[in-house]
Amino acid sequence: MKAKVLIVGGGVMGNAIALSAARFFDPLRQPVVLLERSALASGSSGASGAILRQHYADRMIGAMARDSMRAYSSFESRTGRTLGFQRAGVLTLAGPSRPETIERLTRNVDQQTELGIRTQLLDAEGVRALVPNIEVDDGVIAAWEPQGGYVDPTTTVEQFAALARTYGASTRTGVEILSIDVREGRVVGAETTEGHYDVDTIVIVAGAHCRHLLQKLGVEMPLRVARVEQHFFRMPSDDLEDDSGALGETSSWALVDLDDPLVSEGEADPDEAIKGLPHPVILDLEYGFYTRCEANHGRTRVCPINYDPQEIFDEPQAKSAPRPELAERARELLVKRLPYYADEPMVGEQVSWFPLTPDGRAMIGPVPGVEGAFVAAGFADHGFKLAPSVGDGMAQMIAGEPVSAFDLEYFDPARFLDFDQTEDWSGRLYL
């Protein structure tokens, strides 16, 4: 078997790369093949909240999230395929108990505006008007992104894969890499559970398993994984009432043309409520969690924003069950901000693993010292927000084209060549 480009990893990033790469190469003479050892979206992608936001302190990441948002927004109109995109809006909160978050949020909003991202700075009164029954102190401020929201993670991965196949790419699930053949410093093949592939280019994009695969190339990279628990509570109905009456009849996202991510007319004022959902996506910098409604499952997801330094490992740990005390902590934080969840039962929980780098930036590009090998790893839980941009940039790179999707040097894996692999950096994450 032969592959011009062999992509290892069937999550959102791997399939975004396959989709973009398939457009560059002839499927008969230069086949693009994606291998996934289990099922598509069976790792961290399938467990992701798949939130689409553009609020970042990092200018480069913000620009990539902006470009990716445009790709998601127009996907259905361009392809006729749905990703389960819900433009629920994203509300990022900062509060007086953590004054540094207020300064950071204000700075981020200014930067978003410079990048052409539609966002609005709200005070506490504006937040209360947007989200009835929310508990915020008078010193709270928020960034409101009416175009933000989320996609269905598994559906998105499957649709990316399906569209890649229409361009000639192949998807092989249940296939595992056993070894990678390197001769005279160049990748020439790969042994898999379904046989041998002659390979020109291999792209390692297997999430939490990237470190192990890079070791098959004889390369050590400072990649670790964070253990994250996500808890689900029954989603309240949208007929909650506050002092002014029902939760509202007009949705801020319903007034935006989903087929035109650049639309500038028809945006609701921030005092209009969210129709069909009890609240928008909330990224709470003050209390350290995010939450989003999942109406198709009748539940609300709650997940910490930050990682526990004691929960950082070299590789995913087997049989890692959710812990009851973390479930109670999730409820406590959610109810502190949205009291009407106090009586809602927990309906599920899961443990997921997100890959990290020492500086908080992903590594995207050539594997140092191995010609024909590329890696895209260490995205933490930002993969969905950036996947279309990363897919385009990686495909340009593989094809030898100028890379316009992002700054190559910024994400270059070679920046870790001199990194002390024995250093314990789990306590200093830039997230």
- Rounded to two decimals, the pTM is 0.91
Do 217 and 238 lie in one domain? The reply is no
Nearest CA-CA partner of 109 in 50, 69, 53, 52? 53
Do 270 and 128 lie in one domain? The reply is yes
> Stretch 18-22: mean pLDDT, rounded?
98
Q: How many domains does the chain have?
A: 2
Do 217 and 233 lie in one domain? The reply is no
Do 264 and 284 lie in one domain? The reply is yes
pLDDT tens string 228-238: 999 999 999 85
Of 324, 356, 388, the residue that ends a domain is 356
- For residue 338, give its domain range: 86-150+224-356
pLDDT tens string 155-198: 999 999 999 999 999 999 999 999 999 999 999 999 999 999 99
Whichever domain contains 268, its CATH number is: 3.30.9.10
Q: What mean pLDDT value characterizes the chain?
A: 90
Do 125 and 237 lie in one domain? The reply is yes
- Phi, psi for 369 (deg, rounded to 5): 85, 0
Do 239 and 326 lie in one domain? The reply is yes
Of 331, 356, 381, the residue that ends a domain is 356
Percent of the chain clearing pLDDT 90 (strictly above): 83
Do 323 and 390 lie in one domain? The reply is no
Do 106 and 158 lie in one domain? The reply is no
pLDDT of the residue at 305:
92
pLDDT of the residue at 419:
86
Confidence of residue 317 (pLDDT cuts 50, 70, 90): confident
Say if CB 196 and CB 1 are below 8 A apart.
yes
Whether 99 is in a domain gets the answer: yes
Do 211 and 228 lie in one domain? The reply is no
Other beta carbons less than 10 A from residue 30's beta carbon: 18
Residues 82 and 155: their CA atoms lie apart, in Å, by: 8
pLDDT tens string 131-163: 999 999 999 999 999 999 999 999 999 999 999
pLDDT of the residue at 308:
85
> Stretch 70-92: mean pLDDT, rounded?
96
Do 250 and 274 lie in one domain? The reply is yes
> Stretch 202-226: mean pLDDT, rounded?
96
Whether 370 is in a domain gets the answer: yes
Whether 170 is in a domain gets the answer: yes
pLDDT of the residue at 319:
72
pLDDT of the residue at 240:
57
pLDDT tens string 107-128: 999 999 999 999 999 999 999 9
Whether 55 is in a domain gets the answer: no
Residues 159 and 149: their CA atoms lie apart, in Å, by: 18
Residues 311 and 246: their CA atoms lie apart, in Å, by: 42
Nearest CA-CA partner of 19 in 77, 54, 68? 68
Of 299, 333, 356, the residue that ends a domain is 356
User: Regarding predicted confidence, which is higher, 421 or 45?
Assistant: 45
Residues 409 and 158: their CA atoms lie apart, in Å, by: 31
Q: Judge whether residue 100 has pLDDT over 70.
A: yes
Do 115 and 252 lie in one domain? The reply is yes
Whether 73 is in a domain gets the answer: no
Whether 69 is in a domain gets the answer: no
Q: Judge whether residue 421 has pLDDT over 50.
A: yes
pLDDT tens string 378-405: 999 899 999 999 999 999 999 999 999 9
